[in-house]
Structure 1
């Protein structure tokens, strides 16, 4: 057991739903979410979701896209990714891994997005994890291969095809032009 974790309280989903404000719970440790994200962050998340929604419109019986939904992974882990693509029926909360997750990175979330969530999403077998860097106008995409993430895209321009149940692509030039 990690020495630091031994001194920290361990919280559960039950605790999580009693808290005020915006939090994520990762392995029993609460992480305060940044206050309302900046305009650019929200705009990029919206444009990505819109782009996906338009491309999978013929496939909506199988897949859907959503912004900032709680994903209850287990009794001590709840995260709220910026954008998810889900190809399973969802009732109240997302309880199984999305096929694709996008996180829009800010200075205050970089460590969590690049390390904690990277490891968590890899462990939970999210097929694609895309990390978007607004200040660099860049996107990195990791694909799950043999239970490990491999970087398959790292660019400021161009387009990437996400090959999932309802495949779609993200054209970065189109996104950056509209931010």
Structure 2
């Protein structure tokens, strides 16, 4: 995989499926990103978020990484998708997007637990990607700071974010569900 970037300019899901299964990758606009193994703190926070959402949301499905999310352009097939991500946690309300091995189309909520090694990618590349594909809510969770930054789609763009600390309560756009931030970081 080291020299793949030199051989082609852009990759698709079809290419992605051929890569070494020992490593996890994401594709953003055709560019591959190797995913590092998460820390214990990261996994604890991901688990807490998953269970908070799973126990609160009744009409939608909640998923946890690793599960591929294919974000496709208008007439693009799944195999031609240049955008394949594995969000830490995501919520899908349209069950037709859920296939046997992946989700195709934008989830309603995507949660990324930010680590020092992913902060730039989460704040720039993924932010732009999720906005482009109209993910309704994008959460950036920072375990070390114990904060959650929530971006919500307004007129096809992310508006000013809401930032929550341990004393906050996030009200989701779907089902008016309330999540206590302290539960995420316990």
TM range (shorter): 0.7 to 0.9
Whole-angstrom CA distance in 2 between matches of 1:151 and 1:6: 38
Candidates 60, 68, 71, aligned match of 1:70: 68
- Normalising by the residue count of structure 2, what TM-score does the alignment of the two structures yield? 0.84
Tell me which residue corresponds to 1:160: 170
Summarize the alignment of residues 1-40 of structure 1 with structure 2, pairs less than 5 Å apart. 9-20=9-20, 21-34=23-36, 36-40=37-41
How big is the alpha-carbon RMSD for the aligned residues of Structure 1 and Structure 2? 1.7
Alpha-carbon distance, 1:98 to partner: 0.7
Candidates 87, 99, 105, aligned match of 1:91: 99
Runs of 5+ consecutive residues of structure 1 not aligned to the other structure: none
Tell me which residue corresponds to 2:88: 82
Runs of 5+ consecutive residues of structure 2 not aligned to the other structure: 73-80
Alpha-carbon distance, 1:7 to partner: 9.1
Whole-angstrom CA distance in 2 between matches of 1:17 and 1:8: 16
- Normalising by the residue count of structure 1, what TM-score does the alignment of the two structures yield? 0.88
Tell me how many residue pairs correspond in the alignment: 167
Say whether 1:43 aligns with 2:44: yes
Whole-angstrom CA distance in 2 between matches of 1:151 and 1:133: 18
Runs of 4+ in 1 over 6 A off after TM superposition: none
Summarize the alignment of residues 53-64 of structure 1 with structure 2, pairs less than 5 Å apart. 53-56=54-57, 59=58, 62-64=59-61
Whole-angstrom CA distance in 2 between matches of 1:67 and 1:160: 19
Whole-angstrom CA distance in 2 between matches of 1:147 and 1:42: 31
Summarize the alignment of residues 62-141 of structure 1 with structure 2, pairs less than 5 Å apart. 62-68=59-65, 69-74=67-72, 75-89=81-95, 90-92=98-100, 93-141=102-150
Whole-angstrom CA distance in 1 between matches of 2:6 and 2:129: 20
Does the CA contact (< 8 Å) of 1:140 and 1:151 recur in 2? Answer: no
Whole-angstrom CA distance in 2 between matches of 1:121 and 1:136: 23
